[in-house]
Structure 1
Amino acid sequence: MGKVVLVTGVARQLGGRFVRRIQRDPQVDRVIAVDAVPPEHHLGGADFIQADIRQPTIARVLAETNADTVVHMDVTGIALGSGSGSRATVKETNVIGTMQLLGACQKSPTVKRLVVKSSTNVYGSAPRDPAVFTETTPPKSLPSGGFAKDAVEVEGYVRGFARRRPDVAVCVLRFANILGPTADSPLAQYFGLPVLPTVFGYDPRLQFVHEDDVIEVLRIASHDPARGTLNSGTFNIAGDGVLLLSQCSRRLGRPTVPLLLPAVTWAGSLVRTLGITDFSPEQIRLLTHGRVVATNQMRETLGYRPKFTTAETFTDFARVRGPGLLPPEALAGAVDRIAALPFVPFPGSAGTPVTTAVTPTTAT
């Protein structure tokens, strides 16, 4: 008999795509799609069961379906069908829902593999962070709130489950910021703003992973390992390379408004109150200090090489989102001309001015 795969969070576009993809694998005999609300998209030949993972009923679903593989995708930073989302609902689904699901998996004698969709948000964003995080690098300061704190708690519960059920292969996938044609995340909403507020004096390095690569990595982690690989453990998942926030704004054709950090914090509170986007404190820290992770283990141990680089992922995202207020070429040319202007000190300024070298780049 083939595998029986249970997938949570299928009402979201990413969950629906994974359900449609995994059931095409010849090793899979049946796919059980679970969510608290019916999805608006089709799920192919999967069996949909409407169940809230925050409730004990998920244990009955596992027992009745005899699932041997559980793919937990219902860990997210934004509420379904909401611009800013209900933070309380999101936290309950992330943390309480994960606890209930893991409790059900612990009692199930048939579960042999658990795959959890996590995030590189667990590393946080701080001024003294290392240039590159590996899977074993501890954060300089643990996230104090928001989705990042949820992800830290979720991974803690998963590690506890792995100790209690050593017979279950557990794979935690820490995805960088997910972008693509159907991306729905706080960062995707931020890039959708007509003008991008930025923190004055900072140009953070950002990493992205394409939706297509997310689906493929989840599929690989859901199966028994191929020869020479190990589909268990914790893995950073991101596209090759990085982009600066300034390069992202140029490619989108959206102007930036540099603000002092207190003003950015106030602007974030305002857009959250208005329901425009979830411009949370953790996102402000990301847009201040950035975050880059190493992906050696993804290639060497998990055996996967992303099809999209960080730059290609953002290009595909920008193509679907359409042009901004300014043509990207014109915006890039204006920025380059400003950068080429000679430095002129303010009247009355003392001492030797400190200048920053600007390296010309063809990437716009």
Structure 2
Amino acid sequence: MAGDRVVLVTGVSRDLGRRCARALADLPDVRRVIGVDVVPPRGDVGDMSFVRADIRNPVIAKVIAKEDVDTVVHMSVIATPGSAGGRNTMKELNVIGTMQLLAACQKSPKVTRLVVKSTTTVYGASNRDPAMFTEDMEPRRAPRAGYAKDVAEVEGYVRGFARRRPDCDVALLRCANVIGPHVVSPITSYFRLPVIPTVLGFDARLQFLHEDDLVRVLEHAVTTRTAGTFNLAGDGVLMLSQALRRLQRPAVPMPGVGVGALGSLLRSARMADFSPEQQAFLTYGRGVDTTLMREVLGFEPRFTTAEAFADFASGLPPTGGRAERLVGQVAERLPTTATLEAPRTPVAAVEEPPLRSVTALPVGHGRRRPARGGGSRG
């Protein structure tokens, strides 16, 4: 027998949002799922009912009231300005859209559950970071622009809503980079490049959350009354060098200025959204503690970080045969100070540490690798 819960899901025009809405509609506790976005979703929507609405507009309050919504799942915080139509539009969707949605929830006494998909990007990435971030920690450097700043503002508004509506259970889910065969995001676009640029001398620590586990944790969060802020990631860490070896794709170590220049070219060519914050992440990496995910939220991912990455990589062909030609084309377009010769040997493997041993790493950054080529050994 179907339950009586009515769930509203934002951001259903994107594949992950549509998939999560479909999964929620199949739950026995849920009577109806309403998907909201400015454009209709592509593909099979299952039992989800779609309503064309812009969460930046106060009309969203009418949708919540008319449909008797009691649970809201907010998935409209987007990471790529290109998909949103530019940085200004992205800012409006993320921040203004969240403000309007929370105002609508505050007006409706029937809304008693709010689940917000956030990201560990809110912690930033710098050389002063701790080995592991817990939920009560702040970023060592406050974000001044871009996606990370949007997320920080969104989370601030969500915390304010939770204080104003203590009768509403609020779950803030800080997800590590979501990855999987069907995910299109800045990090998956980076790993899909035929030749992958890395920051010379650094080996970032990575954590991933599989797309299937994202769906599962949203189902779990909707059907439980657990409130709070939770880091979400698969067990273990993966070094960037390990990830590239498993992809069987060539890496081109460059100075930071070279990676930044290449990122601009990739954005112009719409091959990848290589933002400054992503460059910082791929330089220093990030580790988050997931104790509260297990002990308080009561959720256990099925995929470890390594397994999630392996599932993503399984569908990608190796591209080593094209490396020299592509590196040459890139080098011609970069400033002379950023031009480097492609390495003749693959990146060496790094022994993968267990999750709890990450604290043994130097605080503040990923492992530093000795420079290759004619640099000194040290």
TM-score of the superposition, structure 2-length normalised?
A: 0.84
Q: Secondary structure at the match of 2:300?
A: coil
2:61 maps to which residue?
A: 59
Summarize deviations over 1:272-300 as a string: whole Å, max 9, x none. 22322110000000011100100000000
Any unmatched runs of 5+ in structure 2?
323-342, 350-369
1:235 aligns with 2:220: no
Determine if contact 1:253/1:326 at 8 Å carries over to the other structure: no
Q: Secondary structure at the match of 1:321?
A: coil
1:90 maps to which residue?
A: 90
2:118 maps to which residue?
A: 118
Q: Which of 279, 287, 312 is 1:284 aligned to? A: 279
Determine if contact 2:116/2:172 at 8 Å carries over to the other structure: yes
Determine if contact 1:122/1:152 at 8 Å carries over to the other structure: yes
For residues 346 and 72 of structure 1, what CA distance do their matches in structure 2 show? Answer: 48
2:172 maps to which residue?
A: 172
Summarize deviations over 1:14-56 as a string: whole Å, max 9, x none. 1111111111111111111111101112211111100011111
Determine if contact 2:4/2:31 at 8 Å carries over to the other structure: yes
TM-score of the superposition, structure 1-length normalised?
A: 0.87
Task: Give the AA of the match of 1:239.
Answer: G
- 1:235 deviates by 0.1
- 1:354 deviates by 5.0
1:223 maps to which residue?
A: 223
Task: Give the AA of the match of 1:258.
Answer: P
2:340 maps to which residue?
A: none
Summarize deviations over 1:287-320 as a string: whole Å, max 9, x none. 1110010000000001111100000000000112
- 1:7 deviates by 0.4
Task: Give the AA of the match of 2:145.
Answer: G
The alignment's C-alpha RMSD in Å is: 2.3
1:183 maps to which residue?
A: 183
The percent identity for this pair of structures is 55
Residues 286, 68 of structure 1: alpha-carbon distance in 2 compared, 3 angstrom cutoff:
same
For residues 346 and 65 of structure 1, what CA distance do their matches in structure 2 show? Answer: 64
Q: Secondary structure at the match of 2:34?
A: strand
2:242 maps to which residue?
A: 247
Task: Give the AA of the match of 2:187.
Answer: L
Q: Which of 259, 268, 271 is 2:263 aligned to? A: 268
Q: Which of 21, 29, 32 is 1:30 aligned to? A: 32
- 1:222 deviates by 0.8
Total equivalences in the alignment: 335
- 1:144 deviates by 1.8
Summarize deviations over 1:45-103 as a string: whole Å, max 9, x none. 111100011111111101100100000011120258x4x95222222111111011001
1:161 aligns with 2:156: no
Any unmatched runs of 5+ in structure 1?
226-230, 338-342, 356-364
1:194 maps to which residue?
A: 194
Determine if contact 1:134/1:294 at 8 Å carries over to the other structure: yes
Determine if contact 1:3/1:29 at 8 Å carries over to the other structure: yes
